[in-house]
């Protein structure tokens, strides 16, 4: 299995990256070409779809930043981790738990997110 700490760090970095070209590189490095993303508010498929949904979230919450809050915890081809989303002023506005399957090449194949707040 790939180094899940690096993969999850790149995942968080992709959600925080506001430069479209750099974000696209992070998404391509982190997600398999045919990856899927699903949470209670949005879903996307493929690197183009996932890149677009991240860009949409950034427009909805300008200046917000994700931080890894727990994990990653991985076994076999599954990884889980917890994150916090902070508003531009630093206030925590959401906590999420993400679960993902990992493709053979070490990139994320399917991510399912659950929101606490």
Domain of residue 78, residue span: 4-115
pTM metric for this prediction: 0.95
Looking at residue 8, its pLDDT comes to 98
The pLDDT-based confidence of 32 (bands split at 50, 70, 90) is: very high
Number of domains in the chain: 1
What is the sign, positive or negative, of the torsion defined by CA atoms of 94, 99, 103, 106?
Answer: positive
pLDDT of residue 2 exceeding 90, the answer is no
Cα separation, 38 vs 89, whole angstroms? 27
Say which CATH number the domain at 38 has.
3.10.450.50
pLDDT tens sequence across 60-113? 999 999 999 999 999 999 999 999 999 999 999 999 999 999 999 999 999 999
Q: 75-104 b/e with 16+ CB inside 10 Å = b? A: eeeebbbbbbbbeeeeeeebebbbebbbbe
Looking at residue 1, its pLDDT comes to 60
């Amino acid at each position: 299995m790939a180094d899940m700490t690096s993969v999850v760090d790149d995942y968080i970095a992709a959600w925080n990256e506001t430069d479209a070209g750099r974000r696209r590189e992070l998404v391509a490095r982190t997600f398999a070409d045919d990856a899927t993303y699903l949470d209670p508010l949005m879903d996307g498929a493929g690197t183009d779809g996932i890149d677009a949904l991240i860009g949409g979230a950034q427009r909805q919450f300008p200046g917000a930043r994700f931080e890894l809050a727990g994990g990653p915890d991985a076994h076999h081809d599954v990884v889980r981790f917890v994150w916090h989303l902070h508003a531009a002023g630093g206030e925590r506005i959401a906590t999420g738990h993400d679960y993902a399957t990992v493709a053979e090449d070490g990139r994320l194949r399917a991510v399912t997110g659950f929101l606490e707040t």
